[in-house]
Amino acid sequence: MPPPNPKQAEFFRAREKYVCYGGARGGGKSWCVRIKALLMAVRYPGIRILILRRTFPELRENHILPMQALLCDGARYKTTDKSFEFRGGSRIVYGYCASESDVNQYRGQEYDVIFIDEATDFTEYQFRTLAASVRGANDFPKRMYLTCNPGGVGHAWVKRLFIDRDYRKDERPEDYRFIGAKVTDNKILMKKDPDYVAMLDNLPPGIREAWRDGNWDVFIGQYFSEWNREEHVCEAFEPPKEGWSWYVTMDYGLDMLAAYLIGVDEQDCAWVIGESYEGRDLGEGHNGLIVDDAAKAIKELRGDRHISAYLAPPDLWNARQETGRSVAQIFAEHGIFLTKTSNDRIAGWLAVRERLRMRECEDKVFRPSLRIFPNCMNLIRCLPLLQYDEKRPNDCRTEPHEITHGPDALRGFCVWWVTKGEGPLDTEKRAAWTDDMWEDYDRASAEERAALEEKWGKPR
C-alpha cells in the first residue's frame, strides 16, 4: 500500500466529530475512505462502520471491489448484507441512498463511524438523519467522515458547515474540520495520469474552477456564473449624505424576513449596504416575525435615511382570510408604504444578472453595477448557491428554500428598477418571448440584443 500524501495523512489523523476531505477532483478521496475504514476496523476490534454512496453501482465500483482486492483473506465479505466481517468482530457495512426516503432505513441503527463518500450528493436531511445513528454504549470513537467536491444537491449545507463555518445554535464549531485537497496533492495520480490535469485545465469556465481548484463559489449548475466575490463584495465605507437614492427591498412571509437597504449612486451602481435576515428557515432557535416585528426591523435597517420606495412582492397585497386585510395594509399602519414589484421571475433574474455583469465605467475600468457590503452575509452566501431549475432552464430552483429569500428580495429591486419608468409592455410581444429566446438574449452581444429588442420589444 502506498504511503498517504500530506493531505491524506492529515485526514487520517483528524479527531473532530465531523471531518470533511476534498474540494477538487483527483484528490484521492475514495482511497482515503477505504484505508481509514480499514485502519479503524483493525485498530478497534468490534467497531461498527458504515460507508455510504448515493447509488449501489458507485458503491460497488469505488469501494466494495477495491476493498475485496485489498483485504484478500483478511476479512469475509457477506453479499447478503453487503459487509466485511473481521476476525476481531469489526464490521464495515456498505449502504446507499438513491432517494431522500432511503435514509430512513438507517433510523434506529447504531454505528460508531459513518463515512459519506461524495457528501454533496446527499441532502441535509439525509446527513442529519445519518448523524443521529452515530452512537453506542462503548468506548469506540464516534465520528462522521465526509468527502466531496463543490456542486450537487448538498452543496449549500456542506459549504455552510465546512467552508463558511456559519453555525447555528445547536452546532459547535470545534466539531467540524475541513481538509482541502487538490489534484496536485495526489502525486501518484499526477505521475500515472498526467493528462488528467490537462483535462481539468481545458474544462469550461465554472466547471474548471470547481473541479480543478475546489472553488466553492463556482460549481456545475450554478445559476449566476457571473458571481465573483472579489468583484461583487466590497469593503464597507460611509456613503455620501447627498446624491444617492435609497430603497428597501424585501421578501417577507411568516417563515422569513429578508430585507436589504440599497443605495443607488449617480452612475446607477447599486450598493447593498444593510441586511435584516431572520426567520424559522434558519433552524432551531429562530422564529418567524409577525408584521409588527418585521416593520420594526425594517425601520432599524433604514436608520435615518429617506427611503424612495419600499419594494415588496405582489403576494403581500393579498387579503388575509382571518383579518380581511393584506400584509401591505398592515405595513402601512406602521408607516411603511410598500411598492409592488414584478412577479416575473425570468425577467427578474435577468435584471439581477445584468447588474452582476462586468461593464465599462466612465473611468474605463470594468466593474459590476451591483456591490455588496460584507455585513450582508446571507445575501453573499446565498446568491452563488442558486442553481438552475431543470424543468425551467431560465429560472432557478426554489430549493433549498432557505437560500432563496435574499436573492428573491434582490430580484424584486432589480426588476423594479428596470421597469419603474416605463409603461406596460405590449402583451403580444411579451408572450412572444419564449424560453429559447430568453436564453439567446442572455448570451447575446449588445448588437444582437438590440436586434432582438427591435423585433420583439424590450424584455421585462
Q: What is the reported pLDDT for 22?
A: 85
At residue 439 the predicted structure's pLDDT band, cuts being 50, 70 and 90, is low
The answer, yes or no, to whether residue 170 has pLDDT greater than 90, is no
CA 7, 144, 200, 188 torsion-angle sign:
positive
Q: Angle, to 10 degrees, between the axis of helix 435-443 and the axis of helix 345-356?
A: 10
Nearest alpha-carbon partner for 49 in 124, 1, 3, 109: 109
CA distance 41 to 92: 7
- φ/ψ region of 306 (left if φ > 0, alpha if ψ in -120 to 50, else beta) reads beta
Q: Is 231 in contact with 221 (CB distance < 8 Å)?
A: no
Q: Which CATH number, 3.40.50.1980, 3.30.56.10, 3.30.420.280, 3.40.50.9100, labels domain 245-421?
A: 3.30.420.280
Q: Distance (Å, rounded) from C-alpha 130 to C-alpha 8? A: 24
Q: How many CB atoms lie within 10 A of CB 142?
A: 15
What are the tens digits of pLDDT across the range 235-274? 999 999 899 999 999 999 988 999 999 999 999 999 999 9
Region 362-374: mean pLDDT is 88
The closest of 274, 237, 231 to 365, measured between CA atoms, is: 231
Count of residues making up the chain: 460
Q: pLDDT of 19-42, one tens digit each?
A: 999 876 666 788 899 999 999 999
Q: In the prediction, which pLDDT does 190 show?
A: 62
From the list 361, 317, 362, the residue with the least C-alpha distance to 340 is 317
Number of neighbours of residue 305 by Cβ within 10 angstroms: 18
Residues of the chain with pLDDT > 90: what percent?
53
What's at 91, amino acid-wise?
R
Q: Which of 140-154, 217-231, 308-322, 325-339 has the lowest mean pLDDT?
A: 217-231
Q: Which residues contact 2 (CB under 8 A, 6 or more apart)?
A: 188
Residue 250 phi, psi (nearest 5): -145, 155
Q: What is residue 220's predicted lDDT score, i.e. its pLDDT? A: 67
Cell triple for residue 237?
A: 465605507
- Cα distance between residue 240 and residue 178, in whole Å: 41
pLDDT digits (tens, 9 = 90+) for 49-89: 999 998 889 899 989 999 999 888 789 999 998 999 999 99
- Grid look-up 458507485 returns 58
Q: What is the pLDDT of residue 187?
A: 64
Q: How far is CA 454 from its chain centroid?
A: 38
Cα end-to-end distance, the chain, whole Å: 61
Is-above-0.75 flag for pTM? no
For residues 457 and 289, the model is more confident at 289
**Residue 79: strand, helix, or coil:** coil
Burial, 170: exposed, middle or buried (Cβ in 10 Å; 0-12, 13-18, 19+)?
exposed
What's the CA gap between 241 and 258, in Å, rounded?
A: 25
Contact of 262 with 246, CB cutoff 8 Å: yes
Q: What is the pLDDT of residue 25?
A: 65
Partners of 309 in beta bridges: 247
Q: Which three cell numbers stand for residue 452?
A: 432582438
Number of H helices, E strands in the chain: 18, 16
Task: Supply the pLDDT for residue 232.
Answer: 95
Name the residue ranges covered by the structural domains of the chain: 6-211, 245-421, 427-460
Mean pLDDT computed over every residue of the chain: 86
pLDDT tens for residues 174-204?
999 999 887 776 666 666 667 766 777 776 6
For residue range 135-160, list pLDDT tens digits in order. Answer: 999 999 999 999 998 887 788 899 99
Q: Could you tell me the pLDDT band of residue 429, with boundaries at 50, 70 and 90?
A: very low
- CA dist., res. 410 & res. 381, Å (int): 13
- What confidence score (pLDDT) does residue 430 get? 41
Instruction: Write down the CATH number for the domain with range 6-211.
Output: 3.40.50.300
pLDDT (tens digit per residue) in 446-455: 766 776 666 5
Residue 309 has pLDDT above 80, yes or no: yes
More confident position, 400 or 36 = 36
- Helices in 281-323 by DSSP H: which ranges? 291-302
Q: What pLDDT does residue 271 have?
A: 98
For range 203-227, the mean pLDDT: 74
- State residue 423's pLDDT score: 41
Q: Packing angle between helix 345-356 and helix 405-419, nearest 10 degrees?
A: 90
Q: How crowded is the C-beta side of 374, counted as CA atoms within 13 Å?
A: 5
Q: What is the pLDDT of residues 327-360, one digit of tens each?
A: 999 999 999 999 999 999 999 999 999 999 988 7
Helix (H, G, I), strand (E, B) or coil at 273: strand
